[in-house]
Amino acid sequence: MVPEHRHARGSSRRRAFRVASYVCALMAAMPSHAAREACSDIDALRAGALVDMPFELVDGRLYVQADVDGRGTFRFAVDTGASGTARADARLVEALDLPREGTSANSDGVASTTSETVRLGTLALQGLRRDDVVAITRDYNTRQSSEAAFDGILAREFFADGLLVIDYPKRRLAYTRTVSLSENFRDTLAYDKPFRIPISIGGHEVEAQLDTGANVAIVLPKAVHDAIAPASALTADTLTLTNGDVESRRTRMHGPFRIGTLTLTDVEVRVPERFPAPLVGAHALQDAVVMIDPRTRRVAVCGPAAASEAVGSEASR
């Protein structure tokens, strides 16, 4: 009887072990970010950061110090609305005697032009480095204040193979390849064209480009504005773009504007006759944490409430 009793206990233990193994396997197979929100995991999403640094803010635009050819650090704007990898201002080209490369066509969405290009041997932001960079060059500072002047621009392809985290309230920029924005994060927004995301304006759904380099809050082409708020009062205005000025109007709209988990009301809106699509600019993002992951083609825009919850959740761990 004793051997039979031991056999029974052994069978129970094996069954329990199999059940536990099955549960562990099931949990391992589940998406690691299931039922989570990116805006509640901001600090965790900075894990293994190649870049984690402060930035300056001038008129809503953000500036960082980047190394060029190992010859010193220079002031670069971070512009998610600019295509390619980088831009080099004429003063940087002169200071480093950068070699001319050729020419390249470029557009600001309304007007196109052809500009000279130069070659940078290396362009680095802390641990993130790009080699052999061809950059459009021009005098970008002609119409800038001395406070807003810069030496170059880090465009969206500079951050193409990782997760970019821009924390406006803390004025910190991070970049990592260790983690990503998954579709399992419920508060992320998918995009097709960089970085055009769905937003809501007073219950109307539109697609808008997320542009950290634009020192405006919201831009609505007149046709879009008139479909949403035909009765709003408009005053004459001029909208300055990279390749010139366009006639525009200016107004204030109550909204509410919902961009990810960020909600805005009583927002200044620019209303040009000619403009390719709605735009969310830097002035609208000053209280947000913005995360962009080109690998998964997803974006998260976290409003103050979500960011506060993230801080609280970290403190409680």
276 preceded by a cis bond (ω within 30 of 0): no
Question: What's the confidence (pLDDT) of residue 106?
Answer: 74
285 touches 165 (CB < 8 A): no
The yes-or-no verdict on residue 21 having pLDDT over 70 is: no
The yes-or-no verdict on residue 30 having pLDDT over 90 is: no
The yes-or-no verdict on residue 312 having pLDDT over 60 is: no
The yes-or-no verdict on residue 176 having pLDDT over 80 is: yes
Q: How many Å apart are CA 276 and CA 273, to the nearest integer?
A: 10
Model confidence band, residue 306 (pLDDT cutoffs 50, 70, 90):
low
Question: What's the confidence (pLDDT) of residue 154?
Answer: 98
Cα–Cα separations (whole angstroms), residue 210 to 40, 80, 139, 248, 290: 21, 7, 25, 20, 10
The yes-or-no verdict on residue 230 having pLDDT over 70 is: yes
Strand, helix or coil for residue 206 = strand
Question: What's the confidence (pLDDT) of residue 146?
Answer: 93
Q: Give the pair of three-digit tokens for residue 253.
A: 């709209």
Strand, helix or coil for residue 87 = strand
Q: How many Å apart are CA 119 and CA 102, to the nearest integer?
A: 9
Strand, helix or coil for residue 164 = strand
Amino acid making up residue 87: R
* Closest by CA position to 168, among listed 279, 268, 286: 286
Of 218 and 11, the structure prediction assigns the larger pLDDT to 218
Q: Which of 23-37, 88-102, 183-197, 263-277 is predicted with the least confidence, judged by mean pLDDT?
A: 23-37
Cα–Cα separations (whole angstroms), residue 171 to 43, 56, 252, 271, 288: 14, 7, 27, 29, 10
Question: Are 45-176 and 182-315 in the same CATH fold?
Answer: yes
Q: Which of 82-86, 102-106, 152-156, 197-201 is predicted with the least confidence, judged by mean pLDDT?
A: 102-106
Q: What are phi and psi of 54, to 5 degrees?
A: -75, 160
Question: What's the confidence (pLDDT) of residue 5?
Answer: 39
Q: Where are the domains of the chain?
A: 45-176, 182-315
- Kindly report, residue by residue over 250-303, the tens digit of the pLDDT: 999 999 999 999 999 999 999 998 898 999 999 999 999 999 999 999 999 999
307 touches 39 (CB < 8 A): yes
Of 182 and 29, the structure prediction assigns the larger pLDDT to 182
The yes-or-no verdict on residue 212 having pLDDT over 80 is: yes
DSSP one-letter string for 239-259: EEETTEEEEEEEEEE---EEE
Question: What's the confidence (pLDDT) of residue 35?
Answer: 54
Q: What are phi and psi of 26, to 5 degrees?
A: -65, -45
The yes-or-no verdict on residue 56 having pLDDT over 80 is: yes
Q: Give the total residue count for the chain.
A: 317
Please, what CATH class does the domain formed by 182-315 belong to?
mainly beta
If phi > 0 it is left, if psi is from -120 to 50 it is alpha, else beta; for residue 10 that is alpha
Question: What's the confidence (pLDDT) of residue 72?
Answer: 97
The pLDDT > 70 percentage for the chain reads 83
Q: Which of 3-17, 85-99, 166-180, 206-220 is predicted with the least confidence, judged by mean pLDDT?
A: 3-17
Q: Give the pair of three-digit tokens for residue 101.
A: 């490369």
> Which of the four CATH numbers 3.30.420.480, 2.30.30.90, 2.40.70.10, 3.30.70.2740 does domain 45-176 have?
2.40.70.10
Question: What's the confidence (pLDDT) of residue 68?
Answer: 98
Average pLDDT value for the chain = 86
Model confidence band, residue 143 (pLDDT cutoffs 50, 70, 90):
confident
